[in-house]
């Protein structure tokens, strides 16, 4: 919450400029993360993971000697935040960017870049061609399905239809390109519907904090759920159970995102999707 207020305050003062109708090539790493090449302050070239669940940029503690001369303010965030940075990603130039320090990211990445990459524009994730694209106006979506999105504090949520114990229900999931797997259920949903018993579990791990509280992570396969009228079968799904309740929202992870090509409206309240070449790929197992 504090982070969101801080970023909104900064952006009320500073202007992020993004050129329109531009294309950025990307690669997928082994964890289904989107990786782009960014140049920070015309000096350091970094591999950045595109994180659809955040807005600004951040640097990983594993970036080695890169960007070590960046000046960070530690008065609000202990790890530090730097403002008024310039980032170039492909043909896109971003000015006055906020950069947070020491945030973990995906494998082989040295930092993250969020939705500010497409500030004020329609954008597209084309997994078939491995391209990110910006548009001044909505392109042709005649071969896509429109799905409504719920925008909360700048984050994008979609609604899925699930059938648990022969009961139809819906829940919302955060688009989370940093999570390698498929679905990750919130603690609320997992507890209410005993999801650890409603997935075919293939991996389990028990964790304990210093107070002796336990958390068990279970990874499994969910037989079926629906996005609009699209049936998704035998996808990976995870739950946290136990005394530690940290998973406040559900995730629609990178393994599911890659199964579609996406176009996001300028106001981010509608996504247009169609199946990508990865739609029938086996479920990614964490």
| pLDDT at position 121 | 95
pLDDT exceeds 50 at position 122: yes
Tokens of 132: 């990110």
Query: What is the CB neighbour count within 10 angstroms for residue 17?
Result: 11
The distance in angstroms from the start CA to the end CA of the chain is 29
pLDDT exceeds 90 at position 242: no
Query: Could you give phi then psi for residue 160, rounded to 5 degrees?
Result: -115, 150
Query: For residue 227, which of 150, 162, 144 has the smallest C-alpha distance?
Result: 162
Q: What percent of the chain has pLDDT over 70?
A: 93
**pLDDT band (50, 70, 90) for residue 15:** very low
Query: For residue 191, which of 241, 225, 236 has the smallest C-alpha distance?
Result: 241
The widest CA-to-CA distance across the chain, in whole angstroms, is 57
The residue with greater pLDDT, 286 or 185, is 185
CB 47 within 8 A of CB 37: yes
List 155's β-bridge partners, or say none: 152
- Domains for the chain: give ranges and CATH numbers: 2-135 (2.40.70), 145-275 (2.40.70.10)
| pLDDT at position 18 | 40
- CA distances to 6, 9, 76, 241 from 3, rounded to whole Å, are 5, 10, 9, 28
| pLDDT at position 12 | 41
Global confidence as pTM: 0.91
| pLDDT at position 165 | 86
| pLDDT at position 264 | 98
Residue pLDDT, tens place only, 41-95:
999 999 999 999 999 999 999 998 899 889 999 998 999 999 999 999 998 999 9
Q: What number is the average pLDDT over the span 253-261?
A: 98
| pLDDT at position 65 | 85
Tokens of 103: 């945030």
Residue with tokens 């406040």: 248
Q: What number is the average pLDDT over the span 271-283?
A: 98
| pLDDT at position 45 | 96
Residue pLDDT, tens place only, 184-228:
999 999 999 999 999 999 999 998 887 888 889 999 999 999 999
Query: For residue 281, which of 256, 262, 263 has the smallest C-alpha distance?
Result: 256
| pLDDT at position 243 | 86
* 3-state SS, one letter per residue, for the chain: CHHHHHHHHHHHHCCCCCCCCCEEECEECCCCCEEEEEEECCCEEEEEEECCCCCCEEECCCCCCCCCCCCCECCCCCCCEEEEEEEEECCEEEEEEEEECCCCCCCCCCEEECHHHHCCCEEEEECCCCEEEEECCCCCCCCCEEEECEEECCEEEEEEEEEECCEEEEEEEEEECCCCCCEECCHHHHHHCCHHHCCEEEEEEEEECCCCCEEEEEEEEEEEEEECCEEEEEEEEEEEEECCCCCCCEEEEHHHHCCEEEEECCCCCEEEEEECCCCCCCCCCC
| pLDDT at position 234 | 97
Residue pLDDT, tens place only, 105-114:
999 999 999 9
Residue pLDDT, tens place only, 134-189:
999 999 999 999 999 999 999 999 999 999 988 999 999 999 999 999 999 999 99
| pLDDT at position 10 | 47
**Positive/negative CA dihedral, 68, 41, 63, 54:** positive
């Amino acid at each position: 919450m504090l982070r969101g207020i801080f970023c909104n305050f900064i952006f009320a003062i500073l202007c992020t400029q993004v050129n329109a109708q531009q294309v950025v090539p990307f690669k997928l790493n082994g964890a289904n993360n989107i990786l782009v090449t960014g140049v920070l302050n015309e000096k350091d070239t970094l591999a950045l993971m595109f994180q659809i669940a955040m807005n600004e940029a951040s640097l990983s503690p594993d970036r080695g000697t890169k960007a070590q001369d960046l000046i960070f303010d530690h008065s609000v965030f202990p790890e530090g935040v730097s403002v008024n940075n310039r980032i170039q990603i492909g043909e896109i130039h971003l000015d006055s960017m906020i950069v947070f320090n020491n945030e973990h990211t995906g494998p082989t990445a040295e930092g993250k870049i969020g939705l500010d990459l497409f500030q004020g524009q329609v954008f597209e994730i084309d997994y078939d061609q491995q391209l990110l694209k910006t548009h001044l106006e909505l392109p042709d979506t005649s071969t896509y399905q429109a799905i409504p999105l719920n925008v909360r504090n700048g984050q994008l949520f979609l609604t899925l239809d699930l059938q648990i114990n022969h009961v139809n229900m819906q829940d919302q999931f955060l688009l989370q390109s940093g999570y390698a797997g498929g679905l990750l259920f919130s603690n609320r949903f997992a507890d209410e519907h005993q999801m650890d018993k409603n997935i075919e579990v293939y991996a389990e791990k028990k964790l304990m904090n210093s107070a002796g509280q336990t958390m068990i992570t279970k990874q499994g396969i969910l037989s079926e759920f629906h996005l609009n009228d699209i049936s998704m079968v035998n996808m990976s799904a995870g739950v946290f159970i136990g005394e530690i309740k940290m998973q406040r929202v559900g995730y629609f992870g990178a393994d599911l995102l890659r199964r579609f090509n996406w176009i996001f409206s300028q106001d981010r309240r509608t996504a247009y999707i169609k199946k990508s070449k990865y739609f029938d790929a086996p479920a990614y197992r964490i």
